Amino acid sequence: MWNKSQMDDVMTEYTPWTEKYRPKSLKDVVGQKEITTLLRAYVKEKNMPNLLFAGPPGIGKTTAALALARDLYGESYKESILELNASDERGIDVVRGKIKDFARTVSLTEVPFKIIFLDEADSLTNDAQNALRRTMELYVNATRFILSANYSSKIIEPIQSRCSLFRFRPLTPAEVTEMVDRVARGEKLKVDKEAGEALLYVSEGDMRRAINALQGASLHSATITSESVYKSAARAEPAEIKEMMELALARKFVEARKKLHQLMISYGMSGEDVLIQMYRTLDSLQISEREKVALMDKIGEYNFRLVEGANEMIQIEALLAQMLLVK
């Protein structure tokens, strides 16, 4: 039989790197310096209002909430925080059941309140949000709420007015690089310069995406290359997307179409992935501003067609055909 320490080692070994290297304390959180400074002040005072964290995925909202709870409660933080994902449990019954039951109980620690962390709170129905507002009012002395949302505009105004709003921004390249280096050291990986730039490209300021791409690339070798990063993230190399677009602009449709098929098969990309990368490549093309505007308009049109359910391959090929008419 394994003891607890051995079990913890085994569990850690097979934990996704996004969880394995998630900062445990606010002082270890990478990025969002202004926000973490304010949160650390709340920890020092052992008092805080209800909080609303808003911003795109993968930039530290959940990490900041859990680190705040750990810093507040120490070893007993698990008994003092209720963590729910509103995208799974988004109805009014959850608010009247789990949330209300936890909110009405008294904290047994030296901190006089407990925390309910509601991730993806913008997924809650309006009825559930109204019930939540009432719960926040009734149990304000015993419980504090931390709501996390991609879009704060989807949270009803009465809840927004009861929370202190923190807007999380996408992480800078330097911040993503700092965390990638931390993970690479922990896993004894070598990340060359081109691979680092590839991780920045695929992450787009999303730390979770960068670490997942790094973990996927590490399956091939302990030396991380740009090619392994792009393949693990199902992204084409920017130079290949640029080559395909330049072929179409040069009226070499058959060659551009062949390149498209190669990209979608070798990288396993969806039509929307291709469009997003084409959009990101626009600025690097040696064409006039007027031609870039025309291309952006076409990319937007064909993205709408894909969202409406049109066939991916046919639509992307049609876009390449339209590009022949731009110049």
Going residue by residue through the chain, which has 327 residues, state the pLDDT in tens, using 9 for 90 and above.
444 444 444 445 568 888 898 989 999 998 888 999 999 999 998 889 999 999 998 888 999 999 999 999 888 888 888 888 766 655 566 666 777 777 777 777 788 888 889 888 888 888 888 888 888 888 888 889 999 999 888 999 999 999 999 999 989 999 999 999 999 999 999 998 899 999 999 988 889 999 999 998 888 788 888 888 888 888 888 999 999 999 999 999 999 999 999 888 878 888 898 999 999 999 999 999 999 999 999 999 999 999 999 999 999 999 999 998 876
| Rounded CA separation 65/69 (Å) | 6
12 close to 20: Cβ distance less than 8 angstroms: yes
pLDDT at 7: 44
Q: Distance (Å, rounded) from C-alpha 103 to C-alpha 114?
A: 8
Angle at 273 between CA 231 and CA 190, to 5 degrees: 30
Q: For the domain 31-167, what is the CATH code? A: 3.40.50.300
Tell me the DSSP string of 110-151. SSS-EEEEEETGGGS-HHHHHHHHHHHHHTTTTEEEEEEES-
According to the model, what pLDDT value does residue 311 have? 92
Question: Which of these, 203, 204, 180, 202, lies nearest to 192 by C-alpha position?
Answer: 180
Sequence-separated (6 or more) residues with CB below 8 Å from residue 198: 226, 229, 230, 237
- CA separation (Å) from 81 to 90, 106, 152? 19, 12, 22
| pLDDT the model gives residue 304 | 95
Strand partners, 118: 84, 147
Write down the pLDDT at residue 14: 64
Contact 176, 199 (CB under 8 A): yes
Nearest partner of 191 among 144, 229, 238, judged by Cα: 229
Residue 144, phi then psi, degrees to nearest 5:
-115, 145
Residue ranges per structural domain of the chain: 31-167, 173-232, 238-323
Fold of the domain spanning 238-323: Zinc Finger, Delta Prime; domain 3 (1.20.272)
Cα 242 to chain centroid, rounded: 26
Q: Radius of gyration of the chain from Cα atoms? A: 24
| Dihedral of the alpha carbons of 193, 198, 203, 205, in degrees to the nearest 10 | 50
- The DSSP string of 137-203 is HHTTTTEEEEEEES-GGGS-HHHHTTEEEEE--PPPHHHHHHHHHHHHHHHT-EE-HHHHHHHHHHH
| pLDDT score recorded for residue 235 | 86
207: left (phi over 0), alpha (psi -120 to 50) or beta: alpha
DSSP annotation of 223 reads: E
Q: Which CATH architecture has domain 173-232?
A: Orthogonal Bundle (1.10)
The DSSP secondary structure of 49-100, one letter per residue, reads -EEEEES-TTSSHHHHHHHHHHHHHGGGHHHHEEEEETTTS-SHHHIIIIIH
Per the structure block, which two tokens stand in for 10? Answer: 């085994």
